[in-house]
């Protein structure tokens, strides 16, 4: 249940906490909300009521809402995998107040303005949180990029290896050159799934239930070869590029060198790469399958070191669910074959507690988590000044978070459409108590009222 309803959602309201996570650190404060925005941040206890509705959180922490720039909603076209209502409901329950939807797995994909319009029309009235869209750059649609950008997409996703769905083909080198040259010209952000198809083809392909065989089929080299080729192309075209879901720590030295060389490159990683490890994946448990794959514990430690050093701009979910039968899950009568199962992790509602559980163990603060999961992704998509921080003038997207609240994950109790997640059965620390979107409580009650946002 929410800690408090806000009875006059657009009237003045104060949220008070002894632990407010602000851009310059955590301190006691009163946050005044008016018209859906943060109007004032004042000393704890100083903004007394009058006609203002007061929510006093006590020691419960107040965080800015998370910004998740990597979510596959899959609607329209594969709505049985996921949809706007269920995905954004899960987001709200997990403290995520802004979702940017990926351009593929929906049919049509977001590779034309018509595709974008289909998405927007379908999403209308279904979103619990604010929602934006990525476009896609595929072979042959270079001419669609500028109109899509003008229509407000946040940038363009391309795959360097097969994406898993036929209607979103990967780019060969010549397609990549033309897509990046065009994106440099129009000032768009290119976001890239970086695995190299030649390395994947050369790797041993051993189907079956053993996770180590699946891992061997998608080696570190597939990521490093793809990233090296991408960085070279970015350098020559001048495009701004972002590496999606870095799984292998072996790519980090390449990114460092390219940055030192003036290439405009950022990178993200995901909760599953930071909190799960190959050693603990049970045979046949395809809920853990994603591409690139979850690697070993020493790699996970190296990703944490890079995160601590500021080498990742964002930690985002890559929520990419499908139906249990396509996951080939054994409890649904499937084979548990990692090679044949759909690759994608469902975790939108769990990113914050999963990361906090591991971050705390490693000595990090909630300010660090906010930098990785809220301010960082907001800056990636140009939303700093609207989203990603408790700051005057920003949208009042807020989360009441109990950093000591423990819970056991039950897949069927999560709000995303299909009851599958690799976190099932785990005990996580950190519970979202209430989520506010533009000053209104959204995580449990009320009607959807997220709005569609565009790149400005």
* Residues found near Zn ion in the complex (CB under 5 A): 318, 320
Two tokens at 306? 């890079």
- The rounded distance, in Å, linking the Cα atoms of 423 and 276 is 9
The backbone torsions φ and ψ at residue 38, rounded to the nearest 5 degrees and listed phi first, read: -80, 115
CA proximity to 83, closest of 447, 417, 349, 347: 417
**What's the distance, CA 153 to chain centroid?**
16
Q: How far is the CB of 164 from Zn ion (least distance, A)?
A: 10
Q: How far is the CB of 269 from Zn ion (least distance, A)?
A: 12
Q: Which is nearer to Zn ion, 144 or 318 (CB)?
A: 318
Least CB distance from residue 294 to Zn ion, whole Å?
14
DSSP 275-315: H--GGGPPTT-GGG--SSPP--HHHHHHHHHHHHTT--SEE
By beta-carbon proximity to Zn ion, the closer residue of 192 and 396 is 192
Least distance (Å) between residue 272 CB and Zn ion: 11
Q: Which is nearer to Zn ion, 73 or 383 (CB)?
A: 73
Q: How far is the CB of 43 from Zn ion (least distance, A)?
A: 43
CB 137 within 8 A of CB 145: yes
| Dihedral in degrees, nearest 10, Cα atoms 441, 445, 447, 449 | 20
C-beta closer to Zn ion: residue 318 or 395: 318
Which CB atom, from 55 or from 74, has the smaller least distance to Zn ion? Answer: 74
Nearest approach, Cβ of residue 311 and Zn ion (Å): 20
Q: What backbone torsions phi and psi does residue 20 show, to the nearest 5 degrees?
A: -100, 125
Euclidean distance between CA atoms 168 and 157, whole angstroms = 10
Q: Residue 168 CB, nearest distance to Zn ion (Å)?
A: 11
Residues 208 and 346: their CA atoms lie apart, in Å, by: 22
Task: Give 318 or 402: the residue with its C-beta nearer to Zn ion.
Answer: 318
Whole-angstrom distance, CA of residue 99 vs CA of residue 255: 26
Nearest residue (beta carbon) to Zn ion: 318
Q: Which residues pair with 267 in a beta bridge?
A: 243
End-to-end Cα distance, the chain: 36
């Amino acid at each position: 249940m929410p800690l408090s309803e806000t009875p006059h959602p657009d009237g003045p309201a104060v949220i008070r906490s002894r632990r407010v996570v602000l851009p310059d650190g955590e301190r006691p404060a009163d946050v005044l909300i008016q018209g859906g925005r943060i109007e004032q941040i004042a000393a704890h206890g100083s903004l007394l009521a009058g006609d203002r509705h007061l929510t006093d959180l006590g020691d419960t922490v107040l965080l800015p809402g998370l910004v998740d720039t990597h979510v596959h909603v899959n609607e329209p076209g594969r709505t049985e995998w996921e949809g706007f209502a269920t995905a954004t409901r899960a987001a709200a329950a997990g403290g995520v107040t802004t979702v940017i939807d990926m351009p593929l797995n929906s049919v049509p994909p977001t590779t034309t303005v018509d595709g974008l319009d289909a998405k927007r029309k379908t999403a209308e009235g279904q979103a619990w949180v604010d929602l934006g869209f990525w476009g896609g750059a595929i072979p042959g649609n270079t001419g669609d990029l500028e109109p899509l950008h003008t229509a407000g997409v946040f940038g363009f996703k391309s795959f360097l290896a097969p994406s898993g769905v036929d209607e979103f083909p990967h780019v060969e080198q010549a397609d990549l050159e033309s897509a990046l040259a065009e994106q440099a010209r129009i000032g768009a952000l290119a976001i890239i799934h970086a695995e190299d198809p030649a390395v994947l083809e050369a790797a041993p392909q051993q189907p079956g239930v053993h996770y180590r065989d699946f891992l061997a089929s998608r080696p570190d080299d597939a990521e490093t070869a793809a990233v090296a080729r991408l960085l070279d192309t970015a350098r020559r075209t001048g495009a701004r590029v972002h590496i999606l879901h870095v799984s292998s720590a072996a790519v980090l030295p390449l990114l460092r060198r390219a940055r030192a060389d003036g290439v405009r490159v950022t990178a993200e990683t995901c909760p599953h790469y930071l909190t799960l490890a190959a050693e603990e994946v049970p045979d046949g448990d395809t809920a853990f399958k994603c591409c690139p794959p979850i690697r070993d514990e020493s790699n996970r430690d190296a990703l944490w070191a890079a995160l601590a050093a500021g080498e990742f701009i964002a930690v985002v979910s890559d929520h990419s669910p499908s139906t249990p039968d396509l996951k080939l899950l054994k409890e649904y009568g499937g084979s548990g074959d990692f090679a044949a199962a759909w690759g994608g992790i469902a975790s939108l509602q769990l990113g914050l507690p999963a990361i906090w559980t591991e971050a705390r163990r490693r000595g990090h603060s909630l300010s660090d988590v906010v930098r990785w999961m809220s301010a960082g992704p907001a800056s990636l998509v140009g939303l700093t000044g609207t989203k990603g921080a408790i700051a005057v003038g920003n949208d009042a997207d807020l989360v009441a978070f109990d950093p000591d609240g423990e819970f056991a994950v039950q897949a069927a109790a999560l709000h995303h459409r299909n009851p599958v997640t690799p976190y099932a059965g785990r005990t996580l620390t950190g519970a979202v108590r209430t989520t506010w979107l533009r000053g209104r409580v959204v995580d449990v009650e009320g009607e959807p009222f997220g709005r569609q946002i565009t790149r400005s």
